[in-house]
Every structure is written in C-alpha cells, then in structure tokens.
Amino acid sequence: MNQKNYQKELEGILEGLPAGAPPRLFLHSCCAPCSSYCLEYLCKYFLITVFYYNPNISLEAEYQKRVAEQKRLIEAYNEEKKGYSISVIEGDYEPALFFEKVRGYESCKEGGERCFQCFELRLRRTAEEALKGGFDYFGTTLTISPLKNAAKINEIGLDVSKEIGVKWLPSDFKKKNGYKRSIELSAEYGLYRQDFCGCSFSKAEREAQKQCNNQLNER
C-alpha cells in the first residue's frame, strides 16, 4: 500500500483556494521553531490564528519560555508583513489533563502510543475551538518534525475532523526542505530551540541519552 503524500494533498488544497478571499485557519503550534516555516509558508494563503495549546510541557517555566518565543516570532512576522496578518491565542496550561490522558502509557518510548494520545488531546481541543470560532480549517505544526509520525498525526486530525465537524488541513511540513528552513529561520530570529519535545517523559529520555553520550565520550 502506498503511503499518502500529505504535502501533495496540502498543495492541492492551496491551489484550489479562491483568489483574494483567504480562508481562516486555526493552527495548533507546538513551539516557535516548528511554527517558523509553517507560518511563513501558510500566511500567504490563510488568515491564521495560532493556537498555542500544549498541556504536555513540563515544567511551567519551560511552558512560559516557549509561549513567549511563539508570540515574539508572530510579532516579528507581522511587522515584516510576510503575508496575511497572524493572530495568536494562548490556550490554558492544563498539565493535569495531559497526565490523565497518557495514564497507562507512561513507559512507552518517545514516538509511541503515549505521543499519539498527546496528539489527540491537543488536536481535539484545537478542533473544538476552531468550531466555536467559525474557522474554515484547523491544522498543526507538529508534522514538521522528522521525529514525529506525520501519517499518524494526519490520521488523528482527520478522525477528529469528522467527529467535530471542522475541515482538517493535511500536512507534512518537513517535506520540500521545510524542516531545514525552520532551522534557518530559528537561527535568523534567535529562537530558543528546546532539546526535548516537552513532557516530563521526553525530558527524562533526553537526559538519559545525554548522560549515555557523555559516558561514551569519556571512554
């Protein structure tokens, strides 16, 4: 079975958009670095409202640091008029909901079922808020990461879309050098680039990995 090409699906949607009448997109963002390319790319086609909803992030200081960088990047983009103006909404910081959602999956490795549960939590809230706000589409920046399963993210997004009743914007933003461009933009704007996904479990995995690498280097 051939895997779907979500980048081509996105391009097909963009090509079919009516000229001069940009639809409204409610875009979940995990962080400023990941959103950098996505916003640069999409703001020429959509009126974007970024939804910063990431209850998985631990600790609160880390959360606040990331959300501040997100707002700073959007402000810079708007000043430079890269495309249509971008708005941002900060969702509630609800770590208890994340831990409840992933209960029973704590021992899963990064990229496994625990992450899928986390994606579903964030995408469902995004779709619910998009419906309330009367948006044409909802989507996420998560697919830009080469460490995340774009097919699974799109599968979850489509399932939520059918249930909630808002159109899902398919994506695989790492394609067409998207991830490379995000690194370039992060350097250009001096963005804080975290070295773990966000949750306490990914942080522990990353710390263990660094410790292992340090021990190997000392030999």
pLDDT of residue 165: 98
- Range of weakest confidence among 51-55, 99-103, 195-199: 195-199
Instruction: Please give the average per-residue pLDDT across 169-193, as a whole number.
Output: 97
Which residues, 6 or more positions from 50, have their beta carbon under 8 angstroms from its beta carbon? Answer: 27, 28, 29, 35, 39, 70, 74, 86, 87, 88, 89
Backbone angles phi, psi at 38, to 5 degrees: -55, -45
* Mean of pLDDT over the chain: 92
Cα separation values, 83 from 19, 21, 46, Å: 14, 13, 9
User: At residue 1, does pLDDT exceed 50?
Assistant: no
Structure tokens belonging to residue 162: 């059918």
pLDDT, residue 213, reads: 55
Of the two residues 212 and 126, the one the predictor is more confident about is: 126
Class of domain 6-193: alpha beta
Average pLDDT over residues 151-169: 98
pLDDT score, position 200: 81
The residue that leads in pLDDT, 95 or 202, is 95
Share of the chain above pLDDT 90, in %: 80
Average pLDDT over residues 35-39: 98
Where are the domains positioned within the chain?
Answer: 6-193
- Whether the Cβ atoms of residue 113 and residue 3 lie closer than 8 Å to each other: no
Residue 164 CB neighbour total at 10 angstroms: 17
In this prediction, residues 14-20 reach a mean pLDDT of: 91
**pLDDT tens track for 44-81:** 999 999 999 999 998 899 999 999 999 999 999 999 99
